[in-house]
Structure formats: structure tokens, C-alpha cells
Homo-oligomer: A and B are copies of this chain.
Amino acid sequence: MLSKESIDTLVENYISSVEFPAAPEKLYAPIKYSLRGGGKRLRPAIVAMAYNIFADDVQRVLPCAAAVEMFHTFTLLHDDIMDNADVRRGMPTVHRKWDHNTALLSGDAMMICSYGLLEKMPATLLPAILHEFNRLAIEVCEGQQYDMDFEAQEDVTLDEYMEMIRLKTAALFAGAARIGALAGGASDADADALYRFGQQLGFAYQLQDDYLDIYGTEQMLGKKIGGDVAENKKTFLLISALREAGDATRRAMMATLRDTSHSLDQRIGRIRTIYDSLDIPEVTLAAIGSHLDKAGAAIESLSVAAVTDKTAPLKNLLAALRNRNK
């Protein structure tokens, strides 16, 4: 069994070692820029950790892990176009550093390269892995579409919102965990448990993102806070606040969201004051804790739960996420 730290290192080294052709330069330079521009590498680590519960030779699953990370990075690249974002991980987004068409096409190529990595997996595993990969990939697109739909929709319910983030965010974590499990030879029951683990972790992760967009700092996040306010995104905090607020507060909140005559910082300040008055930070942190607990329970439901050194890396990952501030 490898420690969380050893797995993180293996994953990072493998991703750094993935090679791309030199030409055409404008196609591949943005891919290298995006993929090597950091990131927490959470999703590929989950692939490798899930695998390592059932099999020792973690090297064998690294192409899958890198494929998941590369697909995730591709989605960020295209999302940044759609959201018109300027900064990602403290650096200019691809469509700002290059141009719009370059970002579009190199994103397409990055997605294809992620499928290319799957070729390195053993032939016997390929059908199951391709199926799971396709599923997470299309679900991420569905979630992104609902996210954009919700920008123009006033009355998004919490259930609708949770379904949206199940697709947009949790499906990738869940699929990553199941791909690792399947590649390692897990039983269906264990693969399903790991899927639930990834899904609950993904819910928590997205709620943390929502929280940090208002209560984080630019320094911590490597991008401006308040992006969700600027883009009129529905978030867990906003939907919870609209539900809790009385009529007057709800009207004040909607007015602030629509009010582009004030600076974003001023509007974020007002929104934060309203959220504070409604205990939204506490509600959100409790929801995050609940999803992380469920992710922990999924680990405990594994057939190998009693072999504590097998599940330690995933538990350490959960523990680290409890204090996420970036």
C-alpha cells in the first residue's frame, strides 16, 4: 500500500511525463500550459487510491488517472471560454493568453488526448473503463448545461441545484473512483461503494467551491472571488438564502445581484452581510460536513474496510478536504 503522499507524487510525475507533439505549436502549447499549470490533482489521486485498495502495481493505472485529470482540465478550458473568465490558478486563461479559437480547438484536442491515454490500459479492462469514462464525460457536459440554464432561471430549487452539481462536479469524482476500482479488480459492490464515496466527496467539493467564492480570498483561490455573483450563477448559498429570507431580504438580495451599477466587491460585501444574517455560512459548512461524513461511511462499507492501511489514503484525503481553503 502506498501512502497518500507517495500516490500524489506518482500521479504528478506521470502527468508531467505525458508528452505532446511540438507542432502545431498553437494546438499543443495551450494543452501543456493548462495541464502543467498546477491544480490539486485530486481526481487522478482518487483513481490511483481506489486502484491501490485492490491492486499493488499503481503504475498500471496512471494512464487512467492522467486521462481523468486531462479531461477535467479540458472542461476548465472550455468552461473558462463560456464563463468569459480571465484567470485560472493564478494565470491567464487560455482564451486570454492566446485567443478564442485557439482555446476552443486545443480544448477539443485535449479531450481527444485524454481518450488517447485510455489506450494504454490492458485490453481486457478497456470496455469497462471506456464505458465509465464516457459516462462521467457526458454527465459533466449535462451538468455544465444545467449550470448555464440556471443563470437565466430565477426559481432554481435546492433539489435541482443538487442534481446539477451531481452531474457537473460529483460525476467526475465518482467516475474516477469507480474507474480506479474497476481497474484494480474490485467487486461490483466495492466499485459501487467507491462511486458513492466519490460522489459524496464531489458534492462537498462543489459546496466548498460555492462557499469560497464568497468567503475565500483571491490570494487563496488564485482567481477573483465573486465569480458566481458576476456570472449570475446559482449556488448552494444563494438558493439556501433565498429560501430562508423573508420577502424584504429576498428583494434586497435580488436587487444586489442585478445591480451592475456598483462594483463587484461592493455587491459581494452586501451579499455576504445578508448571508451572515441568515446563518448561511453555518448551513453550508454543515452540509459540507454531512457529505464528507457520507463519503467516509462509503469507505467503511468496503469489503476491505477492516484493513485500515488500505483505506488510509482515501481517509487522509477526506481529512485534508475538511479544511480546504483553496
Contact = CB atoms under 8 A, between A and B. Distances in A.
Contact of A108 (B27, B111, B119, B123): B111
Contacts of A130: 115, 118-119, 126, 130
Interface string A137-157: 110011011101100000000
Contact of A116 (B27, B106, B134): B134
Contacts of A116: 134, 138
B119 A104 contact: no
Interface string A95-134: 0000001001111110111011011000110110011001
B82 A101 contact: yes
B112 A137 contact: yes
A118 B126 CA distance: 11
Interface in A39-72: none
A215 to B, nearest CB: 28
* Residue from the set A101, A123, A126 with the largest chain B CB neighbour count within 10 Å: A101
A162 to B, nearest CB: 15
B105 A149 contact: no
A109 B78 CA distance: 12
A32 interface: no
A24 interface: yes
Nearest to A127: B123
A26 interface: yes
Contacts of A144: 105
A144 B26 CA distance: 11
Contact of A105 (B109, B118, B145): B145
B109 A26 contact: no
A123 B144 CA distance: 31
A127 B126 CA distance: 7
A232 to B, nearest CB: 13
Contact of A141 (B27, B134, B138): B27
Contacts of A115: 115, 130, 134, 137
Given A115-B134, A119-B131, A123-B127, 11 more contacts: A24-B142, A24-B145, A27-B142, A81-B101, A104-B104, A105-B145, A111-B111, A113-B138, A119-B127, A119-B134, A126-B130
8 tightest Cβ-Cβ pairs between the two chains A and B: A24-B145, A27-B145, A109-B141, A82-B101, A112-B137, A123-B127, A116-B134, A112-B138
15 contacts: A24-B146, A78-B108, A82-B101, A101-B148, A105-B141, A105-B144, A105-B145, A107-B108, A108-B141, A109-B141, A109-B145, A115-B130, A119-B131, A123-B126, A126-B130
